[in-house]
């Protein structure tokens, strides 16, 4: 599903974020990306949906060559990938239904199909009854569930989550994790960058630790491995 | 592009105008002021051009033929003049015809000259290019059997110089105004887009194509341009109708005239509208470029 070979990333300001990184992630895996701040986690995540481009090395996501992908082909890549952020990135002037439908409208899906699919995913994340409410009327956990609904509404093969529980209280964080587990069981690859030790140590999955732009540990069912 | 998508783009662009009502107001005001200035400028320049053309076209050389010229000599002279480079036409008028014209212009008292006509036979010569008038006049004066050659010596050269300078200055000013307007609008739409950065970012993240993101903003820019051209078109039309109403009776019979209200005002309105549309679209286009790099 995702292959990286000697991926190297140097930013224009001279900072080397990834220093010859090698990794392979299969379809259907659930992977935690851990490591200290500034270790290269974000760059690693951003490359998956081609917000950043490798400076050198080879990288494939679902057989799409990220290094040589033309700008106008980027939308096609992103339709295969769902992305969830710490700050949810919802549009406050659209209601819950519209926020989720937005993702299908902008890729020119048929209106009848949009309605059906949006109601399905809102049901999946347990927010069908709040479809008409606006993000500002929802709790943080509910907002994150809306953003998850939006990310899976076009049935992506991979879901990328950057600190999805970072802004949530522990109890809500578990709800979100349950949701991720269900989505993963349905066959979607999940790649999640996190600092949440408790979650990583309890819900055991493959753990990839990045430090100084390199993978320092890659253990199936591993633990968080850092203090606090 | 699917019809449904296009409908969505139209709806989005209208919604955005309503949502960002203050920004809309600011942009439309900027367009309005600029187009109003441009419109008034075009009115003035086009009319100055018309006056210049009228005056230019009226410049003719009056060639007085010697009294001792025979009919044959006169015919010879005419063919010599018509063959000169740059001469458009000649018009022969006998001294009797000249006197009739004079009497018509100045009254019957002059008819006593009919006894002994003191006037000359005259050629009226027109140049193809009014600027060549001076050279042609000199050439004609050098021919034989010519008593005198007259044209608006000196005055005409001055008039041409002033008019040419006026045209150039006007063109430069219009261009400068247009650039100012474009930058104003581009900046205003940039602010609109900054306010919607998050929306663009999310669109890009979920896989919208660049054109999908761009079109509503371009349409929005176009609406702003069109809205900004309404008041200038109305005011310019009103202003010009008043001017023509005032000036036309006073200018009747003069050498120069203002441009007719129609179709001139339709042309000016179309020009203002097109400029509004163009600067609106151009402004959005320039502003959105950098926001698409997500």
How far apart, in Å, are the Cα atoms of A27 and each of A1, A45, A48, A50, A181?
5, 16, 14, 19, 15
Q: Which chain A residues are closer than 8 Å to B210 by Cβ? A: 71-72, 75
Interchain pair A89, B206: CB under 8 A: no
φ, ψ for residue B85 (rounded to 5)? -65, 135
Would you state the pLDDT for residue B156?
A: 60
Interchain pair A107, B208: CB under 8 A: yes
Q: Which chain A residue has its CA at the smallest distance from B202's CA?
A: A89
Interchain pair B4, A108: CB under 8 A: yes
**Whole-number Å distance between alpha carbons of B236 and B207:** 46
Task: Give which of A147, A177, A161 is closest to A44, Cα–Cα.
Answer: A161
**Residue from A64, A100, A108 to probe the interface with B (highest B Cβ count within 10 Å):** A108
**Residue from B20, B199, B207, B294 to probe the interface with A (highest A Cβ count within 10 Å):** B207
Nearest-CB residue to B202 (from A49, A76, A91): A91
Interchain pair A106, B210: CB under 8 A: no
pLDDT band at B45 (very low <50, low <70, confident <90, very high): confident
Q: Which chain B residues are closer than 8 Å to A150 by Cβ? A: 206
Nearest-CB residue to A75 (from B4, B19, B208): B208
pLDDT band at A227 (very low <50, low <70, confident <90, very high): confident
pLDDT at B233 over 70: yes
Would you state the pLDDT for residue A216?
A: 92
pLDDT at B143 over 90: no
Would you state the pLDDT for residue B153?
A: 59
Q: Does A106 touch chain B (CB under 8 A)?
A: yes
Residue-averaged pLDDT of chain A: 92
pLDDT at B293 over 80: no
Interchain pair B208, A106: CB under 8 A: yes
pLDDT at B294 over 60: no
Neighbours of A220 (CB within 10 A): 10
CA dihedral (A27, A32, A35, A37) in degrees, to 10, reads 90
Interchain pair A78, B204: CB under 8 A: yes
| Residue pair B31/B181 in contact by the 8 Å Cβ criterion | yes
Average pLDDT over residues A194-221: 92
Would you state the pLDDT for residue A66?
A: 92
Nearest-CB residue to B198 (from A77, A89, A103): A89
Interchain pair B210, A72: CB under 8 A: yes
pLDDT band at A145 (very low <50, low <70, confident <90, very high): very high
Q: Which chain B residues are closer than 8 Å to A77 by Cβ? A: 207
Residue-averaged pLDDT of chain B: 81
CB pairs under 8 A between A and B: 49
Q: Does A73 touch chain B (CB under 8 A)?
A: no
Q: Is the dihedral of CA B100, B105, B107, B113 positive or negative?
A: negative
Outline where DSSP puts E strands in B58-135: 61-65, 87-93, 121-127
pLDDT band at B260 (very low <50, low <70, confident <90, very high): confident
Interchain pair A91, B199: CB under 8 A: yes
Using only C-alpha atoms, chain A has a radius of gyration, in whole angstroms, of: 17
Q: Does A69 touch chain B (CB under 8 A)?
A: no
* pLDDT tens digits for range A16-31: 999 999 999 999 999 9
Q: Which of B27-31, B172-176, B263-267 has the highest mean pLDDT?
A: B263-267
Would you state the pLDDT for residue A38?
A: 84
Q: Which chain A residue has its CA at the smallest distance from B8's CA?
A: A105
β-pairing, A189-193 vs A30-34, is parallel
ipTM of this complex prediction, to 2 decimal places: 0.85
* pLDDT tens digits for range A65-86: 999 999 889 999 999 999 999 8
Percent of chain A with pLDDT over 90: 76
In angstroms, the separation between the Cα of residue A219 and the nearest Cα of chain B is 30
In angstroms, the separation between the Cα of residue A108 and the nearest Cα of chain B is 7
Would you state the pLDDT for residue A228?
A: 58
Q: Could you tell me the two tokens for B192?
A: 């609109």
Q: Which chain A residue has its CA at the smallest distance from B19's CA?
A: A93
Q: Which chain B residues are closer than 8 Å to A91 by Cβ? A: 198-199, 202
In angstroms, the separation between the Cα of residue B208 and the nearest Cα of chain A is 5
| Residue pair B155/B106 in contact by the 8 Å Cβ criterion | no
pLDDT band at B157 (very low <50, low <70, confident <90, very high): low
Number of continuous H segments (helices) and E segments (strands) in chain A: 7, 10
The residues of B whose Cβ lies within 8 A of any Cβ of A are: 2, 4-5, 8, 19, 198-199, 201-210, 212, 294
Task: Give which of B194, B218, B193, B294 is closest to A71, Cα–Cα.
Answer: B294
Q: Could you tell me the two tokens for A208?
A: 């990839």
pLDDT at B180 over 90: no
Q: Does A108 touch chain B (CB under 8 A)?
A: yes
pLDDT at B152 over 70: no
Average pLDDT over residues A45-55: 91
Would you state the pLDDT for residue A148?
A: 94
Q: Which chain A residue has its CA at the smallest distance from B205's CA?
A: A78
Would you state the pLDDT for residue A65?
A: 92
Task: Give which of A164, A97, A160 is closest to A131, Cα–Cα.
Answer: A97
Q: Which chain B residues are closer than 8 Å to A93 by Cβ? A: 19
pLDDT band at A160 (very low <50, low <70, confident <90, very high): very high
Would you state the pLDDT for residue B253?
A: 67
In angstroms, the separation between the Cα of residue B220 and the nearest Cα of chain A is 18
pLDDT at A161 over 60: yes
The one-character DSSP state at B290 is: G
Q: Which chain B residue has its CA at the smallest distance from A101's CA?
A: B206
Q: Which of A175-179, B80-84, B116-120 has the highest mean pLDDT?
A: A175-179
Would you state the pLDDT for residue A31?
A: 96
**Whole-number Å distance between alpha carbons of B228 and B220:** 12
Interchain pair A78, B199: CB under 8 A: no
Would you state the pLDDT for residue B154?
A: 60
Would you state the pLDDT for residue B168?
A: 81
């Amino acid at each position: 599903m995702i292959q990286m070979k000697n991926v190297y990333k140097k930013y224009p300001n001279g900072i080397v974020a990834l220093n010859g990184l090698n990794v392979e992630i299969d379809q259907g895996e659930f992977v935690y990306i851990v490591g200290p701040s500034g270790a290269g986690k974000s760059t690693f995540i951003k490359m998956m949906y081609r917000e950043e481009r490798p400076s050198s090395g080879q990288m494939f996501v679902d057989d799409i060559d990220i290094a040589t992908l033309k700008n106008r082909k980027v939308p096609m890549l992103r339709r295969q990938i769902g992305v969830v952020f710490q700050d949810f990135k919802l549009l406050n002037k659209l209601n819950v239904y519209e926020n989720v439908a937005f993702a299908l409208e902008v890729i020119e899906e048929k209106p009848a199909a949009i309605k059906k699919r949006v109601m399905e995913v809102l049901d999946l994340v347990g927010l069908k009854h709040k479809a008409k409410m606006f993000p500002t009327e929802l709790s943080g956990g509910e907002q994150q569930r809306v953003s998850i609904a939006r990310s899976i509404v076009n049935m992506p093969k991979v879901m990328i989550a950057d600190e999805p529980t970072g802004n949530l209280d522990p109890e809500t964080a578990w709800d979100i994790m349950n949701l991720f587990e269900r989505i993963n069981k349905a066959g979607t690859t999940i790649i999640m960058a996190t600092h949440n030790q408790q979650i990583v140590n309890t819900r055991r999955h493959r753990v990839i630790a990045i430090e100084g732009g390199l993978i320092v540990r890659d253990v199936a069912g591993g633990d968080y491995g850092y203090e606090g | 592009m699917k019809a449904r998508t296009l409908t969505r783009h139209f709806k989005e662009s209208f919604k955005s105008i309503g949502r960002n009502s203050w920004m809309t107001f600011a942009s439309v005001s900027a367009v309005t002021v600029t187009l109003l200035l441009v419109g008034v400028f075009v009115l003035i320049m086009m009319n100055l051009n018309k006056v210049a053309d009228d005056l230019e076209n009226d410049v003719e050389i009056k060639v007085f033929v010697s009294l001792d010229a025979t009919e044959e000599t006169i015919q010879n002279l005419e063919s010599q003049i018509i063959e000169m480079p740059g001469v458009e036409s000649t018009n022969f008028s006998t001294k009797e015809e000249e006197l009739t014209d004079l009497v018509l212009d100045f009254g019957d008292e002059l008819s006593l000259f009919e006894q002994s006509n003191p006037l000359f036979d005259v050629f009226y010569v027109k140049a193809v290019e009014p600027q060549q008038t001076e050279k042609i006049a000199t050439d004609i004066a050098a021919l034989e059997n010519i008593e005198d050659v007259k044209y608006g010596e000196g005055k005409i050269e001055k008039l041409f110089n002033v008019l040419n300078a006026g045209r150039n200055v006007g063109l430069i000013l219009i261009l400068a105004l247009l650039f100012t307007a474009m930058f104003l609008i581009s900046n205003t739409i940039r602010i609109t887009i900054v306010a919607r950065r998050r929306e663009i970012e999310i669109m890009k993240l979920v896989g919208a194509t660049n054109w999908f993101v761009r079109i509503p903003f371009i349409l929005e820019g176009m609406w702003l341009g069109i809205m900004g051209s309404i008041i200038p078109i109305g005011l310019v039309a009103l202003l010009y109708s008043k001017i023509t109403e005032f000036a036309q009776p006073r200018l009747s019979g003069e050498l120069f005239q203002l441009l007719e209200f129609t179709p001139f005002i339709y042309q000016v309105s179309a020009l203002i509208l097109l400029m509004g549309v163009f600067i609106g679209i151009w402004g959005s286009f320039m502003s959105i470029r950098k926001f698409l790099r997500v």
